[in-house]
């Protein structure tokens, strides 16, 4: 029996439940949901979808033509206020992910697609993580992973993500740049790119201007690019960060290696907010995610777009099929 994909609901007070229901007409028989049975049932009735829901304990118990739900933490829609911070929802979001990771590691599902959680709610629920990436790294005992944002218009991987800007600067190191660039090259190759063209962004204005505005380019970034070229990668940089994304948009490059969170996130979200996908590279499991937050301001109104979730499912399906072929 072909294994299904697993979708985690994320924070139940956000738009996760709504966008999950909106994609079920297409993906009903291909996925298992990790989330609140009661919350999904509530929205199913409220918005008149008419789906049949089934609570299961194992992905192999899934039935066709039903929304199959694994609920590791009984939470009712009356236990919180939609669109508001809730410790109960933060705890639930963690437990959904924890169970999905366990099933992915045990090969019960092919991949995980995550709907957004709220970091403040997560902390209120007793889980002091910066976000999904950090939880996944700990649950899978992974020392090095990276966030790759993927859209049809722009692709970027990050040297660091959920840390302060001061800490992000400290993390611009040759070894890390080499590591994430190799991860990006691997993903692009598996996606069908022939000799991917990778651009490495500078950290400082004008990529440091030969040390005038900073020396990270000279000390860390340039040596990393040189080593990657020796490894056979088609890679360029450091390129000034105020022009490198435009060059990528014009198809001069296939992907940008960004030095920190906002350097990569801002251009991608500006260009393709609804179509962006988050792929976590370096994990022993496949994980993709929507590239947006919980959107508390519109939660419960049935107005959230499922575009990013659809793209995340497509990416997870593609990568997991490639992995299946590699292990034949």
Alpha-carbon gap, residue 110 to 91, rounded angstroms: 24
CATH number at residue 102: 3.40.718.10
Q: In this structure, are 109 and 161 located in the same domain?
A: no
Q: In this structure, are 265 and 241 located in the same domain?
A: yes
The boundaries of the domain holding residue 300 are: 1-142+283-328
CB 294 within 8 A of CB 85: no
Domain boundary among 252, 273, 294: 273
Please report whether residue 278 resides in a domain: no
Please report whether residue 46 resides in a domain: yes
Q: In this structure, are 185 and 301 located in the same domain?
A: no
Please report whether residue 102 resides in a domain: yes
Band of residue 1 on the pLDDT scale cut at 50, 70, 90: low
Q: In this structure, are 57 and 124 located in the same domain?
A: yes
pLDDT of amino acid 323: 60
What's the total number of domains in the chain?
2
Alpha-carbon gap, residue 43 to 6, rounded angstroms: 20
Q: What are the pLDDT digits (tens) for 149-180?
A: 988 899 999 999 889 999 999 999 999 999 99
> What contacts 1, CB < 8 A, 6 or more positions away?
60
Alpha-carbon gap, residue 244 to 46, rounded angstroms: 46
Please report whether residue 315 resides in a domain: yes
Q: What are the pLDDT digits (tens) for 206-244?
A: 999 999 999 999 999 999 999 999 999 999 999 999 999
Q: In this structure, are 167 and 34 located in the same domain?
A: no
Between 147 and 75, name the one with better pLDDT. 75
Q: In this structure, are 212 and 132 located in the same domain?
A: no
Please report whether residue 205 resides in a domain: yes
CB 299 within 8 A of CB 13: yes
Distances (CA, A) of 254 to 155, 203, 219: 7, 19, 25
pLDDT at 328 over 70: no
Please report whether residue 61 resides in a domain: yes
Mean of all residue pLDDT scores within the chain: 93
Q: In this structure, are 49 and 105 located in the same domain?
A: yes
Domain boundary among 227, 253, 273: 273
Please report whether residue 291 resides in a domain: yes
Q: In this structure, are 132 and 162 located in the same domain?
A: no
Q: In this structure, are 261 and 158 located in the same domain?
A: yes
Alpha-carbon gap, residue 309 to 296, rounded angstroms: 17
Q: In this structure, are 136 and 1 located in the same domain?
A: yes
Please report whether residue 207 resides in a domain: yes
Q: What is the pTM of this model?
A: 0.85
- Rounded percentage of the chain residues whose pLDDT exceeds 90: 82
CB 248 within 8 A of CB 256: yes
Q: In this structure, are 292 and 326 located in the same domain?
A: yes
Domain boundary among 249, 273, 297: 273
Q: In this structure, are 174 and 222 located in the same domain?
A: yes
Q: What are the pLDDT digits (tens) for 96-118?
A: 999 999 999 999 999 999 999 99
Between 12 and 272, name the one with better pLDDT. 12
The two structure tokens encoding residue 37? 């049975």
């Amino acid at each position: 029996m072909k294994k299904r994909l697993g979708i985690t609901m994320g924070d139940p007070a956000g738009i996760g439940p709504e966008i999950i229901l909106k994609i079920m007409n297409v993906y009903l028989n291909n996925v298992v949901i990790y989330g609140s049975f009661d919350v999904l049932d509530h929205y199913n009735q409220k918005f008149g979808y008419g789906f049949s829901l089934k609570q299961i304990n194992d992905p192999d118990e899934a039935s066709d033509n039903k929304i199959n739900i694994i609920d590791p933490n009984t939470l009712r829609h009356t236990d919180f206020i939609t669109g508001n911070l809730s410790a109960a929802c933060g705890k639930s979001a963690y437990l959904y992910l924890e169970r999905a990771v366990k099933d992915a590691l045990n090969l019960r599902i092919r991949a995980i697609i995550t709907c957004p959680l709220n970091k403040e709610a997560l902390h209120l629920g007793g889980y002091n993580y910066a976000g999904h990436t950090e939880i996944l790294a700990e649950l899978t005992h992974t020392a090095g992973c990276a966030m790759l944002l993927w859209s049809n218009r722009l692709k970027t991987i990050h040297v660091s993500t959920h840390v302060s800007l001061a800490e992000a600067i400290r993390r611009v190191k040759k070894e890390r740049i080499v590591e994430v660039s190799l991860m990006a090259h691997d993903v692009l190759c598996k996606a069908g790119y022939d000799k991917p063209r990778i651009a490495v962004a500078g950290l400082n204005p004008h990529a440091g201007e030969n040390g005038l505005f900073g020396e990270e380019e000279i000390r860390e970034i340039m040596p990393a690019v040189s080593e990657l070229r020796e490894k056979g990668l088609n890679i360029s940089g450091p390129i000034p960060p105020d022009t490198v994304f435009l060059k990528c948009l014009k198809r001069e490059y296939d992907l940008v290696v960004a030095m920190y969170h906002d350097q990569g996130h801002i251009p991608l979200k500006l260009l393709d907010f609804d179509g962006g996908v988050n792929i976590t590279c370096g994990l022993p499991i496949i994980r993709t995610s929507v590239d947006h937050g919980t959107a508390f301001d519109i939660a419960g109104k049935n107005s959230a777009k499922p575009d990013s979730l659809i793209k995340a499912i497509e990416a997870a399906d593609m990568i997991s099929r490639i992995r299946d072929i590699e292990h034949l």
